[in-house]
Structure 1
Amino acid sequence: MRRPSQVDAGTAGGLPYLRVGSGPVLVFLPGITAHHEVPVGMDRRFQLGQLRPLARRREVWWLNRPHGLTSGVSMADIAADHAVALRELFGRPVDVLGVSTGGSVALQLAADAPSAVRKLVLVSAAYALGERGRHAQRDTAMWLRAGRTRRAAVSMMDIMGAGPLSHGAAKAMGWLLGGTFVGRGDPDLLALIEAEDAFDLHDRLHAITAPTLVVGGSHDACYGRALLERTAAAIPDARLVLFPRKGHLGVSPSVVRPVLDFLDEP
């Protein structure tokens, strides 16, 4: 058995991964990353900060998107790569948690490959981007193509924060850290942004069979409260946990408790 602090990393099933913890498997699909590699440095510390609270009771597999995405790829194509990887790695249904863009992949996966998903958790994710989220990602792609990394990072961080102060602080951080958030215009990232821009799974939510938990902030700027509520309402028997006065959430300690409680239920 691995120690809780031990981290494995590499490529498995064609996808870059981090693995930490022990217990039942939980596949973790992250939000947008600057590149489609195993994270290093500050990015690795950030990702592991989300994984380790879950890893106290789970063997968490953080999976990045596949290499070589090109313009015209769809969210269904990306989810299909994940379905192949999950069957190769585990050979049975496993729990899947998707954050933000990773939640879009997770929803598509649950709809297209129901035999791969035991339970589904969506954190700050919905069946389609909200208008502000769509605008932020389009601007991010525009600035990356123009070589304006700091402006791209500010656009991406426009969806963060729950109020004027936290929103302004997030954009300032984007300007200061620039490429740490969005890289230098990786074609894989631009293709992913295009795929999510076209993503809308509303008409298929009723067919999702995996027990589902939707977690979000009531002041999420990327999706908005209404989209989170409609997503949960359209998936049969899905549950919704909304944190009041919170914005676009990652997997923080307050999020971990309802997630693990949901996953541990028979």
Structure 2
Amino acid sequence: MHEGVFTGGAAYREFGTGDPLVVFRTVLPDSANPSGAARWAEVRSLKALAARFTVLVVGRRPGLEPGVTMAELAAHHAEELRERFDGPVDVLGVSTAGCLAQQFAADHPGLVRRLVVGAAGSRLGPDGRRIQHAYADLLAAGRYRAAAAALAPGIADARAGRALLAGVLRATAARPADPRGMVALLRAEDAFAIEDRLDEITAPTLVIAGTRDAFYPPELAGRVAEGVRDGRLKLYEGRRHHTVMTDRRFSRDVIAFLGPRGVPSEVDNDG
């Protein structure tokens, strides 16, 4: 396992063996590589993929300010990947990073061999936008415990379950190391809408979505699969936004789709 920082300041972690698979990080409390339990969770979530690919996980640059756009964030990653690779690579993004991965593939098609988008869509759904607005506003105001509790409606269904979860989130929340960077990413995601540019994504694309995702409903994930030049959709019945990547099928479906270089994809369209 190797860790480092790109010229622009973005931290990365690289591990595994095989062809490269670049994973864009979603919104985390810090721009630095996760440490401690967060490091363990990141590595564990990608362990199955690292058995087949050399996984390069890339975070956001430090010092991001609200007002940064998805296009600017994609340009950051383009600089970093040109620094590291000579040609196109496979790219994976989940949640906020799934939107960023779409922007990246549309703006820099020559850098993407195949694209995997998980728990994301062509834009935020109405419930997701409402929840995320509240979350970002509270983060920006420095109300970190209240911000964590605001995520409960996107995780639990029943009113009692939401109240209980909100209490747990509020009690366990800590001050993020880089709250402004978090808010910057969330505001960029809120403004993201790529329906009119999906046909500019030329890389074969796999979209994996949960049928109960409150942030990105399956119809918005389906628009991505339908709108890109070569797309397919895998729907996980009953899965929520935060459980798409933890589903046992996720790594299996990604591996089958990416496959060895030069070998056709084995993933069928479930949509």
TM-score between the two structures when normalised by the length of structure 2: 0.89
- Aligned partner (choices 221, 241, 253) of residue 258 of structure 1: 253
Quote the RMSD (CA, aligned, Å): 1.9
Shift of 1:231: 1.7
CA contact 1:149–1:184 (8 Å) conserved in 2: no
Query: Residue 13 of structure 1: CA displacement?
Result: 4.4
SS in 1 for 2:46: helix
Residue 28 of structure 1 pairs with residue 23 of structure 2: yes
Answer yes or no: is 1:114 the counterpart of 2:104.
no
Q: Count the aligned residue pairs.
A: 257
Higher alpha-carbon deviation: 246-255 or 133-142: 246-255
Amino acid at match of 2:235: L
The residue correspondences of 1:30-69 to structure 2 (distance < 5 A) are 30-69=25-64
- Matched with 2:217 is 224
Q: 2:267 — aligned with what?
A: none
Which residue of 1 is the match for residue 184 of structure 2?
191
Task: Give, as a single letter, the amino acid of the residue that structure 2 aligns with 1:244.
Answer: E
> Equivalents in 2 of 1:84, 1:192: separation in Å?
18
CA shift, 1:168, in A, is 6.0
What is the correspondence of 1:1-266 to structure 2 with a 5 Å cutoff? 7-14=1-8, 15-161=10-156, 163-164=157-158, 171-179=166-174, 183=176, 186-248=179-241, 249-252=243-246, 253-264=248-259, 265-266=263-264
Question: Using the alignment, how far apart are the partners of 1:54 and 1:177 within structure 2?
Answer: 30
Letter of the structure 2 residue corresponding to residue 200 of structure 1? A
Q: CA deviation at 1:185?
A: 5.9
SS at match of 1:61: strand
Q: Which amino acid aligns with 1:81?
A: H
Instruction: Report Cα offsets for 1:74-123 as digits up to 9, x if no partner.
Output: 00000000011111101210000000001111000000000111000001
Q: Is the 8 A contact 2:129 2:190 kept in 1?
A: yes
SS of the aligned residue for 2:206 comes to strand
> Is the Cα contact below 8 Å between 2:206 and 2:231 reproduced in 1?
yes
Amino acid in structure 2 at the alignment position of 1:229: G
Distance across 2 between alignment mates of 1:81 and 1:35: 17
Distance 1:261 1:116 in 2: 21
TM superposition shift of 1:245: 0.9
Distance 1:139 1:120, change over 3 A: same
Classify 1:176/1:83 alpha carbon distance in 2 versus 1 (closer, same or farther; 3 Å): same
The answer to which of 189-198 and 163-172 deviates more is 163-172
Identity among equivalent pairs (%)? 38
SS at match of 2:192: coil
Q: Which runs of 5+ in 2 are unaligned?
A: 265-271
Compute the displacement of 1:125 (Å).
0.9
1:4 is aligned to: none
Gap regions ≥5 residues in structure 1: 1-6
Structure 2 Cα separation of the partners of residues 133 and 24 of structure 1: 35
Paired residue secondary structure (1:122): strand
Report the Cα offset of residue 254 of structure 1: 2.0
Distance in 1 (CA, whole Å) between partners of 2:31 and 2:151 is: 17
| C-alpha contact 2:123 2:194 (8 A) present in aligned 1 | yes
Shift of 1:174: 2.3
